[in-house]
Structure 1
Amino acid sequence: MSQTELPDEPIVIDDESHLDDVVAEYDVVLVDFYADWCGPCQMLEPVVEALASETDAAVAKVDVDRLQGLAATYGVRGVPTLVLFADGEQAEQHVGAKPADQLRSMIENYT
C-alpha cells in the first residue's frame, strides 16, 4: 500500500473535514478525543505521543470543547475516547485511558 509518510507526532485536528482528510490519507489512524481539563486525558497524552512516533499509524487529536459537533458525530460522551480507523472505516472505539501496550496491540491488529 502506498501512503504518505507517517507523521511522528500527533496531528491536531482543526475541523471535521480535516479529520476526514487525515482518515483518507493514512491506512490506520488513531484519534484521541480529549479535553484540556480532563485528568485521564493528560495522563494519556505522553502515551499518544509515543504511539505516533513508534507505530505504523497516524495519530490525531480532537479537542472536544473546541469541536463539539465532531465529537457528537462520533458519539463521544466521555473523554478520553479513542477511535481507530482502518482503511477509511471506523474499526474500534474505546472510552477511557488505556495502557500503551493495549493501544499498541490494537493498532498492530490493523497494520
Structure 2
Amino acid sequence: MASLWTARNTLRSAAQCLRKNTRTRSFCTSRFNAAVYSKADKTTYTKVINDSQSRVVLVDFYADWCQPCRIFSPILEKFASEPNTSANGLPVDLVKIDTESDDGHVLAAEHKVTALPTVFVYKDGKPVTQLTGALPEAHLKKFLDSL
C-alpha cells in the first residue's frame, strides 16, 4: 500500500511541475479576424454594420436558385476568409443574406434590391457603394484596394 501512495504522490508532483513550468502560447491565424456570416438575419446584419469601425463589410444579397450568385459567392467568401486579402489594409467581413428568407426579403426590399447578386459595401459603418452582378475576382480586388 505504501508503494501505491508513493507512486501517486510522484505522479501528482510531476503533474504539478508540468503545470507550473509549461506556458501555453496561442497564435492568431489572421491579423484581421475577418468573418463570414452565412444566412444572416436582420439582427445579425444590424449588429455587424454597427460594429464595423475600421472594417469593410460586404453585404451579399443572394438566392440559392441564382446561378450568378453561385459563381460570385466563393469569390466573396475568399476575400473574407483569406488572411492575405484585405481592402486597402482593412479586414473584410461578409454578411450573406438569403433573399428567400423572411428577414432577407424584408432587407432586400429596404435596400431596393432589384437584381441578384447585389453587394452593398460598407466602410467604417457607412455605406460606400453597391455592386450588382457577378464580378471577376480581379475587378473585385481592384475595387476593394481602392477603398
TM-score when normalising by structure 1: 0.85
Aligned to 1:86: 123
**Do the aligned partners of residues 94 and 13 (structure 1) sit closer, same or farther apart at CA in structure 2, a change above 3 Å counting?**
same
Aligned to 1:109: 146
Aligned to 2:34: 6
Aligned to 1:65: 100
Correspondence for 1:36 among 55, 58, 64:
64
The 4+ residue runs of structure 1 with deviation greater than 4 A are: none
- Please give the alpha-carbon distance, in whole angstroms, between the structure 2 residues aligned to 1:14 and 1:93: 18
Aligned to 2:132: 95
Aligned pairs for 1:17-36 within 5 A: 17-26=43-52, 27-36=55-64
Q: 1:19-48, CA deviations, whole angstroms, 9 ceiling, x for partnerless residues?
A: 111112222101111000000001112111
Shift of 1:74: 1.0
Percent same amino acid among aligned pairs?
32
Matched residue SS, 2:114:
coil
Shift of 1:16: 1.7
TM-score when normalising by structure 2: 0.66
8 A contact 1:13–1:19 mirrored in 2: no
Structure with the bigger RCO (C-alpha within 8 Å, sep 6+) is: 1
8 A contact 2:40–2:95 mirrored in 1: no
Larger Rg: 2
- Please give the alpha-carbon distance, in whole angstroms, between the structure 2 residues aligned to 1:15 and 1:76: 16
Aligned pairs for 1:39-58 within 5 A: 39-53=67-81, 54-55=85-86, 56-58=91-93
**Structure with the largest fraction of helix:** 2
Matched residue SS, 1:98:
coil
For structure 1, list consecutive stretches of 5 or more residues without a partner in the other structure.
none
